[in-house]
Amino acid sequence: MIDRYHYQDSPCELCVRLAEEKELLQQQLDLAVEVIAQQIEMLEDMRTEAEASNMRHLDDFGFRN
C-alpha cells in the first residue's frame, strides 16, 4: 500500500521516516533483549549461590550427612 505514495527510485518522506523508526525500534529491542539476558544470568547466579548457602546451613546444623 505504501508503494502508491512514492516512485521506485525516490521514496516518499513517510517511507523514509518509517524505515528510520523501524531501525530505531530494532535497536531498542536488541538492547532490551541483551539487558533481559544479563538479568536472567544474574538471577541464575543468585539462585546457585542461595542453593549452595542453604546446603552449607544444612551441613552446619547436621541435617545433611
pLDDT, tens digit (0-9, with 9 covering 90-100), for 18-35:
999 999 999 999 999 999
Contact 2, 14 (CB under 8 A): yes
- The model scores a pTM over 0.85: no
> What pLDDT does residue 9 have?
61
The set of residues, in sequence order, having a beta carbon less than 8 Å from that of 11 and lying 6+ positions away, is 19
- Per-residue pLDDT for 60 more than 90? no
How many CB atoms lie under 10 A from the CB of residue 15? Answer: 14
